[in-house]
Structure 1
Amino acid sequence: MHKGILLSLLPAMMLQVAHADVRHESFPTGLQGVWAPNAESCQSDSTRITINEKTVQAPKVACAVDYVVERAVPNGTDYSGRGSCSNRSNPDEKSFMNMIIQLHANGQASIGMNFDSMAEYQHCASGQ
């Protein structure tokens, strides 16, 4: 009897494990590099985002990464970088970072500081 109950609960327990969040100390290697809205923007500081292991450089902010949460979703994997930012034109102006990255096929991703500000980006080639 007890064995049957345990076996019936096993699929539900496995499903919860499969959807668990994984916390990282930094951005995974596959997310690191330069991201831009299109290939022409890879050289433009005004539109690109540079993600390193523990920092994010965006047009208006420079951010220090405290941790990154990886979450399995039906369409793949989402990442959420958490940390603190400084305004690039006024370093004394601080803000909280919750940068969301939803990976897509072909080296593209939706990136934003919240779900309402998501925009399409592509991973620029090395050296750009």
Structure 2
Amino acid sequence: MRGTAILTILMAMFGSHAAVADVKRHKSIPESVWGSWAPSPEGCKTAKSVIVLSAKTYISPDTNCTVAWVSKTAGPRGSFYSAHLLCSKPDEKARNTQSNVIFMSKGENQISVGPMFDDLKDYQRCSTKE
């Protein structure tokens, strides 16, 4: 009887935490982060450091990707997104690979992007005049 009560309490404690994570799946990258991004304003002037995000594409200097889906998860500092991508290198169009990229907004003109949380890098929005 006592063991059942403890088990019930533990299930309520840990079960409720699992239900908190609210992941929503979308077909495209959110419009708020569409555009060209670079590690610095100077980086916007060279294609070697620019990434481009649109509804269904993620383009970096190394790869061109099509968005399969995007998962949106609420976090303590705002939502973060994980895009599941089908990618090819510009010189190897016939060979596709799967990849994931995480991105989260850090304000209107700054995002963090990377393959894992430990490897997120900050990017600045490139102005449309450059």
Q: Which residue of 2 aligns with 1:42?
A: 44
Aligned length: 116
Matched, 1:87 2:89: yes
Gaps of 5+ in 1: 1-8
Percent identity between the aligned chains? 30
Compute the displacement of 1:28 (Å).
1.0
Change (3 A) 1:93 1:114: farther
In structure 2, C-alpha distance between the alignment counterparts of 1:47 and 1:111, rounded to whole Å = 13
Q: Provide the C-alpha distance between the structure 2 equivalents of 1:84 and 1:31, rounded to a whole number of angstroms.
A: 19
Shift of 1:79: 0.6
Gaps of 5+ in 2: 1-11
Q: TM-score, length-normalised on structure 2? A: 0.78
**Corresponding residue to 2:57 among 39, 51, 55:** 55
| 1:12-27 pair list within 5 angstroms | 16=19, 19-27=21-29
The one-letter code of the counterpart of 1:29 is: E
Q: Deviations over 1:80-104 (max 9, x none)?
A: 1112100112223322121100221
Paired with 2:108 and 2:69, the residues of 1 have a C-alpha distance of: 26
| TM-score using structure 1 length | 0.79
How many Å apart are 1:106 and its aligned residue?
5.0
Please identify the structure whose Cα radius of gyration is greater. Answer: 2
Q: Identify the residue that residue 126 of structure 1 maps to in structure 2.
A: 128
Give me the CA root mean square deviation.
2.1
The alpha-carbon deviation at position 107 of structure 1 amounts to: 1.9
Q: Please state which structure has a larger fraction of its residues in strand.
A: 1
